[in-house]
């Protein structure tokens, strides 16, 4: 999907390469296989934030190789980069030029793409509605929904309206289809809602925090999110560590998220749990992965492990800590 426009007399070319069927790659491969002016978003490259001035190329990521609580979410990294001169570097002659790469369409990716595509709205620091979106998304994404905002906070209801297309898509199994056009459609729909919000024409949705506890063990819960904000509901009920069964792929494989509120939930060592699940998965092409507080099953192929087996492995792993 090519996104091109002229803003204030300044030509722009922004191309979003949405590749949900492409496994996570390393930085070296990304630099070898992508054109100049490429920016990769939110875990498509499984390494920490990086910048190659010779491309130029940029990795905006807060998943792998980072201190999760000490690292800005991808959208906040993008906003900071724009306000610190990103478009001076990502410029082909007199044209702002960005080739964006993503394999997901979640809230962080949607916000990041909107910011980069509409850089004229983001470069100035005086944009309170945009600053509010990014600040709340930064907190919520950094903590995987665990930041203790009150569920009836009006700003959260506004965020729920903005990101409702993605949340419904996720709950209805859309992520598992790995269809690039569908993913692009979600990004487009969310962008339109963000732009409406910026001019005070957004809506509100009461949060639906329903979830079902389907298993777990000492100090953690296995859950299935029923409402779009089900994970927020679990945190509100005192769950501090979890495995969420997000859905299933057409192959029957499962999509899991593994997380904890922070590093201070030390009994639930997410990196050790991900490593144990990856050993059991034994998939030579894709791996369980993530950061120190949140991760999940292989992004493209999912996991062949049923919930009961995941529960067993998690309990065995935390029992050795």
Note whether 113 and 193 are same-domain residues: yes
Residue 140 located in a structural domain: yes
Among 198, 226, 249, the domain boundary falls at 198
Note whether 73 and 23 are same-domain residues: yes
pLDDT for position 93: 85
In tens digits, what is the pLDDT along the chain, a chain of 321 residues? 444 444 444 688 999 999 999 999 999 999 999 999 999 999 999 999 999 999 999 999 999 999 999 999 999 999 999 999 999 999 998 899 999 999 999 999 999 999 999 999 998 878 899 999 999 999 999 998 889 888 889 999 999 999 999 999 999 999 999 999 999 999 999 999 999 999 999 999 999 999 999 999 999 999 999 999 999 999 999 999 999 999 999 999 999 999 999 999 999 999 999 999 999 999 999 999 999 999 999 999 999 999 999 999 999 999 976
pTM listed for this prediction: 0.91
pLDDT digits (tens, 9 = 90+) for 230-239: 999 999 999 9
pLDDT for position 41: 99
Instruction: Decide if 65 contacts 8 (C-beta within 8 A).
Output: no
Residue 94 located in a structural domain: yes
Residue 301 located in a structural domain: yes
pLDDT for position 154: 94
pLDDT for position 123: 87
End-to-end CA distance of the chain: 47
Q: What total number of domains does the chain contain?
A: 2
> In angstroms, how far is CA 300 from the centroid of its own chain?
15
Q: Residue 289: which domain range?
A: 211-319
Note whether 184 and 275 are same-domain residues: no
Note whether 275 and 311 are same-domain residues: yes
Please report, for residues 108, 125, 140, 195, 291, the alpha-carbon distance to residue 133 in angstroms, rounded to integers and kept in the order given.
10, 13, 11, 11, 24
Q: Which residues pair with 211 in a beta bridge?
A: 225
Note whether 181 and 102 are same-domain residues: yes
CATH of the domain at 266: 3.10.310
pLDDT for position 10: 61
């Amino acid at each position: 999907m090519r996104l091109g426009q002229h803003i204030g007399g300044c030509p722009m070319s922004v191309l979003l390469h949405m590749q949900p069927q492409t496994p996570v790659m390393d930085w070296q491969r990304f630099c070898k296989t992508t054109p100049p002016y490429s920016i990769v978003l939110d875990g498509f490259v499984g390494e920490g934030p990086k910048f190659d001035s010779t491309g130029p190329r940029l990795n905006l990521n807060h998943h792998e190789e980072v201190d999760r609580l000490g690292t800005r979410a991808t959208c906040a990294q993008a906003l900071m980069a724009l306000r610190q001169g990103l478009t001076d570097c990502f410029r082909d002659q007199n044209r702002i030029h960005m080739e964006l790469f993503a394999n997901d369409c979640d809230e962080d990716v949607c916000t990041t793409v909107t910011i980069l595509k509409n850089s004229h709205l983001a470069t100035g620091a005086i944009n309170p509605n945009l600053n509010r979106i990014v600040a709340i998304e930064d907190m919520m994404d950094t903590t995987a929904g665990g930041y203790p905002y009150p569920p009836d906070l009006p700003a959260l209801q506004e965020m729920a309206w903005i990101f409702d297309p993605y949340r419904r898509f996720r709950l209805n199994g859309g992520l598992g289809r790995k269809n690039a056009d569908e993913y692009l459609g979600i990004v487009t729909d969310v962008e339109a809602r963000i732009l409406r919000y910026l001019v005070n024409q957004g809506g509100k949705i009461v949060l639906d925090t329903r979830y079902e506890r389907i298993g777990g063990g000492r100090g953690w819960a296995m859950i299935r999110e029923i409402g779009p904000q089900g994970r927020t509901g679990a945190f509100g009920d005192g769950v501090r560590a979890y495995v969420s069964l997000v859905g299933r792929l057409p192959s029957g494989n499962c999509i899991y998220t593994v997380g904890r509120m922070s590093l201070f939930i030390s009994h639930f060592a997410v990196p050790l749990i991900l490593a144990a699940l990856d050993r059991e998965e034994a998939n030579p092409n894709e791996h369980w992965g993530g950061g120190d507080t949140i991760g999940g099953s292989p992004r493209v192929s999912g996991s062949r492990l049923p919930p009961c087996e995941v529960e067993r492995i998690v309990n065995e792993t935390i029992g050795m800590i």
